[in-house]
Amino acid sequence: MGTTTLAPRGAAHTVTFYEREAELAEVLTRFVAEGLALGERVIVVATAPHRTALDAALRDQGVDPDEQRAAGHLTTVDARATLDAILLDGVPNMKQFVSMAGGMITDALKDGTRVRAYGEMVALLWELGDVSAALELEEVWNVFLEDHEFELLCAYPTSALADARLGDVSEVCALHSQVLPPSGYASGTPAADATIAEYSQVFLPVPEAVAAVRRFVTEVLTHWREHDLVTDATLVASELATNAVLHASSPFRVSVDRSVGVVCIAIQDVTPDPAQQQDAGHQDGSGRGMLIVEALSRRWGSDALPTGKVVWAELATSSADD
């Protein structure tokens, strides 16, 4: 497909990201249990371990998945087998998709019952390194959603973001009508090794990401014992992240690195527009972000990249005064 097929207007095509298997199990169980409670038909296309975890979690909630399947309320199929059936020469084929995954949904919709579906075939393709096929399959889902009204949930592990191109992450977000961040955005993920001179992490273009960036920067500086920098550095990072979320509407990569006497915070996104200072009046509630960055940093800049830009700010550490 030459152009990105966005989720149709009004369609519920949601993507959720998760850090741990238990987190996915909780989200999936809530999605399925809610649908069953509302009298909807629920279709789950998942790997064997995820289907097993779902059955166990439903039983813990007093829902018998076998009875739900026998009654036709719940359909669970293997994601790998279904994916193999819809690929033609390694590429998602619309005709085969309609006869397999699409066919299950079409049959479920025939009597007017509301339908919700969960699928992780796209995540399997991404995990295999075939990002283009994953994006193609997301587009196939959107084409199907244009003529069939149902609720669709996809899920990706956050590990898929670590080495991904920001442009690909941006396209994943654009192909969905709603993006749900991992629960770690609320609790923070600690940095790993105080001896590492640079940390980086990709964040999604959601409001919750700004607080997650502050926690990320705090964790890194704490590991480095740069406690005196935490207040200024988190404020700088917060302003840069807010720009990426609100103005660029882009997933972004936050990098924090240090050298002698300097800590540098950089945020890369996929939009080419450079960060600029704005003349904010006394009554304006926004527009002071880069003024704050300039005031707190030793120097800052915005550099163009072939696929977007990176905005960076350097802060002097206490050792710089020695």
pLDDT tens-digit series, residues 124-150: 999 999 999 999 999 999 999 999 999
- Considering the domain boundaries, does residue 62 fall inside one? yes
Q: Of the candidates 142, 164, 180, which is a domain's last residue?
A: 180
Q: What is the pLDDT of residue 205?
A: 95
Q: At what angle do helices 289-296 and 230-242 cross, to 10 degrees?
A: 150
Say if residue 8's pLDDT is above 60: yes
Q: What is the pLDDT of residue 194?
A: 55
- pLDDT band at 276; cut points 50, 70, 90: low
Do both 92 and 20 map to the same domain? yes
Distance CA 264, CA 193 (A): 18
- Considering the domain boundaries, does residue 77 fall inside one? yes
Q: What is the pLDDT of residue 280?
A: 45
Do both 136 and 193 map to the same domain? no
Do both 44 and 86 map to the same domain? yes
**pLDDT over 90 percentage in the chain:** 79
Do both 255 and 292 map to the same domain? yes
In tens, the pLDDT along 150-192 reads 999 999 999 999 889 999 999 999 999 999 999 989 876 555 5
Determine the structural domain holding residue 97 and report its residue range. 12-180
Do both 22 and 95 map to the same domain? yes
Nearest CA among 19, 21, 55 for reference residue 36: 55
Do both 197 and 258 map to the same domain? yes
Do both 125 and 32 map to the same domain? yes
- Considering the domain boundaries, does residue 19 fall inside one? yes
Do both 214 and 121 map to the same domain? no
198: domain CATH number?
Answer: 3.30.565.10
- Considering the domain boundaries, does residue 116 fall inside one? yes
Output the 3-class SS for 210-222. HHHHHHHHHHHHH
Q: What is the pLDDT of residue 60?
A: 97
Query: Would you say 142 and 13 are in contact if contact means Cβ atoms under 8 Å apart?
Result: yes
Do both 113 and 91 map to the same domain? yes
Q: Of the candidates 180, 196, 218, which is a domain's last residue?
A: 180
- Listed in sequence order, the residues at least 6 apart from 132 whose beta carbon sits closer than 8 Å to its beta carbon are none
Q: What is the pLDDT of residue 59?
A: 98
Distance CA 308, CA 271 (A): 5
Q: What is the pLDDT of residue 162?
A: 87
Q: Of the candidates 132, 156, 180, which is a domain's last residue?
A: 180
Query: Would you say 100 and 82 are in contact if contact means Cβ atoms under 8 Å apart?
Result: yes
CA 3 to chain CA centroid, nearest Å:
21
- pLDDT band at 281; cut points 50, 70, 90: very low
84: domain CATH number?
Answer: 3.40.50.300
Q: What is the pLDDT of residue 11?
A: 63
pTM for this one?
Answer: 0.87
Distance CA 78, CA 86 (A): 13
**pLDDT over 70 percentage in the chain:** 89
Say if residue 322's pLDDT is above 60: no
Do both 212 and 228 map to the same domain? yes
Say if residue 62's pLDDT is above 70: yes
**What mean pLDDT is predicted for residues 256-271?**
95
Q: What is the pLDDT of residue 289?
A: 76
Say if residue 278's pLDDT is above 80: no
- pLDDT band at 6; cut points 50, 70, 90: low
Do both 199 and 247 map to the same domain? yes
- pLDDT band at 286; cut points 50, 70, 90: very low
Do both 204 and 172 map to the same domain? no
- Considering the domain boundaries, does residue 78 fall inside one? yes
- Considering the domain boundaries, does residue 6 fall inside one? no
Say if residue 296's pLDDT is above 90: yes
Q: What is the pLDDT of residue 80?
A: 96
- Listed in sequence order, the residues at least 6 apart from 13 whose beta carbon sits closer than 8 Å to its beta carbon are 7, 141, 142, 145, 152, 154, 175, 176, 177, 178
Nearest CA among 274, 270, 214, 200 for reference residue 242: 214
- Considering the domain boundaries, does residue 1 fall inside one? no
- The domain tally of the chain equals 2
Q: At what angle do helices 230-242 and 208-223 cross, to 10 degrees?
A: 150
- Considering the domain boundaries, does residue 2 fall inside one? no
